[in-house]
Amino acid sequence: MFDLNEILLDLNYIKKEPLSGSSEGVRYLMEKYVKVEGEGEEKKEETCMRVTLWPEPYGYHRTPEEQKIRECFSLDQDGIKEAVEWMNSNFECVKNMNID
In a domain, 36, yes or no: yes
In a domain, 100, yes or no: no
Phi and psi angles of residue 36, each rounded to the nearest 5 degrees, phi first: -110, 130
In a domain, 53, yes or no: yes
The helices-and-strands tally (H runs, E runs) of the chain is 4, 4
Specify the pLDDT at position 71: 98
Q: pLDDT, tens digit, for every residue of 44-90? A: 999 999 999 999 999 999 999 999 999 999 999 999 999 999 999 99
Domain with 74, as residue range(s), is 4-95
In a domain, 60, yes or no: yes
Dihedral of alpha carbons 31, 34, 37, 39, sign:
negative
Specify the pLDDT at position 98: 65
In a domain, 78, yes or no: yes
